[in-house]
Structure 1
Amino acid sequence: MSPTKHTIVALVEDRPGVLNRMASLFRRRGFNIDSIAVGRSETPGFSRMTIVVDGANTMVEQVRKQLDKVVDVVKVSDITGQDIICRELALIKVKSTPANRSEIMQIVDIFRAKIVDVASDSLTVEVTGDEEKVNSLYNLLRAFGIKEITRTGRIAMTRGGLATATELQSAKESKTKE
């Protein structure tokens, strides 16, 4: 079975060491994590992780099941085949001169990105969108010279209903009974 890029979302208790334990499971299985993004969730005391990894479906499913057994993990889902919303944020510092500044600004405008910093020799661009949009803008700006880039990696969630605090608490309680 050929490797596929998987998007795994985990709701975890906001405690030190959780990220390390989760990343170690992927490392032990020989997976390279393409990106990992962690931030607070809608429920105080919980964080949501989005992990993008390449791997065969069966291997990723095994790792997902092992992640579900980590004490601080409340819920883990491989949302790869679902109807999802994905976004990434990038900050791109581009070399600029007075002669090419307006051309860069036009390209940025086409991508509905923003210029967030202007210096005498550079512009810093903020772009948000799917990975393809970020890559496309980056590839166009490369012609001017990239001084620096930073990317968040993918963040994602399924479309539709929202998990309530009660559902999250139920998931946590059922896990502690196991």
Structure 2
Amino acid sequence: MQKEYTITVYTEDRIGITNRITIIFTRRRINITSLTTSETEIPGVYKFVITVLATRELLDKVVLQIERLIEIHRAFVHEEDEVVYQELALYKVSTKALSNGNIERLIRDNHARILTIAEDYFVIEKTGHQQELLDMLKKLEPYGLIEYTKSGRVAIVKWSRRFHEHLKNLGEKQMDNLPPGVTHPEANRSGISL
């Protein structure tokens, strides 16, 4: 049965790695609903957080295929209850709505905040799960909603401590093996694998 899963992929910072990962999903006809990448606390290691609708059996095969790529440290499939996650939404609303006192209460009651106010519009920021962000979208529509955009999922895995310790140790060992005078950023530019 298809359901929503979060996949985390820990990788080196290499040109083209996003394409190489996403093409694996495309070949298996899996639609990616969200994809974010960011640096981790470990220098030289990046984390992909990918959200998909698929079966667990199919995703286990995808993860094995992703791990065959040379730049990949590890990849994991997570059930909903194995991750703590949030998404971020921005809502652009007509400044005419500010004359209605209800909009400020709506923003407060939904734990959102105003980021900026311009002459014709203001921007509201809200974090939460996808349904919360969509609910806020519906509530703002009567106030003159102009634009809406949402980030992908940002997630922390509940059980990943030992793996992160392994990555830190790996990073320290690789830093010890660098030629004299070469710092980490230079190592990335010169093609030394970290």
Q: TM-score range by the shorter chain?
A: 0.7 to 0.9
CA contact (8 A) 1:75 1:171 kept: no
Distance in 2, matches of 1:58 and 1:162, equals 25
Between 1:142-151 and 1:35-44, the stretch displaced more is 142-151
Once the two structures are superposed, the pairs formed by residues 60-79 of structure 1 within 5 Å of their partners are 60-79=59-78
Q: Distance in 2 between matches of 1:167 and 1:75?
A: 11
Within a 5 Å distance, the mapping from 1:148-163 to structure 2 comes to 148-159=147-158, 162-163=161-162
Contact 1:39–1:47 at 8 Å: present in 2 too?
A: yes
Tell me the alpha carbon deviations over residues 25-60 of structure 1, each in whole angstroms, 9 at most, x when there is no partner. Answer: 111111111000101111111111100011112111
Alignment partner, residue 3 of structure 2: 4
Corresponding letter in the other structure for 1:24: I
What TM-score comes out, normalization by structure 1 length? 0.86
Amino acid at match of 2:53: D
Conservation of the 8 A alpha-carbon contact between 2:24 and 2:62:
yes
Instruction: Tell me by how many angstroms 1:163 deviates.
Output: 4.6
Secondary structure, counterpart of 1:16 in structure 2: coil
Q: Indicate the larger mover: 24-33 or 164-173.
A: 164-173
Instruction: Give the C-alpha shift of residue 96 in structure 1.
Output: 3.2
Q: Which runs of 5+ in 2 are unaligned?
A: 174-194
Q: Distance in 2 between matches of 1:102 and 1:61?
A: 51
Q: Which runs of 5+ in 1 are unaligned?
A: 174-178
Backbone CA RMSD of aligned residues: 2.2
- 1:25, 1:126 → 2: CA distance? 34
Indicate conservation of the 8 Å contact 1:9/1:49, yes or no.
yes
The SS at the match of 1:42 is coil
2:94–2:145 Cα contact (<8 Å) kept: yes
Tell me the equivalent position of 2:126: 127
Change beyond 3 A, Cα 1:109–1:92 = same
Q: Report percent identity of matched pairs.
A: 25
Which residue in the other structure is 2:41 paired with?
42
* Correspondence for 1:97: 96
Q: Secondary structure of the residue that 2:14 maps to in structure 1?
A: coil
Amino acid at match of 1:36: L
How does the TM-score come out when normalised to structure 2?
0.80
**Aligned-residue offset at 1:4:** 0.9
Query: Partner residue of 2:26?
Result: 27
Identify which range, 102-111 or 23-32, moves more after superposition: 102-111
What SS does the corresponding residue of 1:44 show, helix, strand or coil? coil
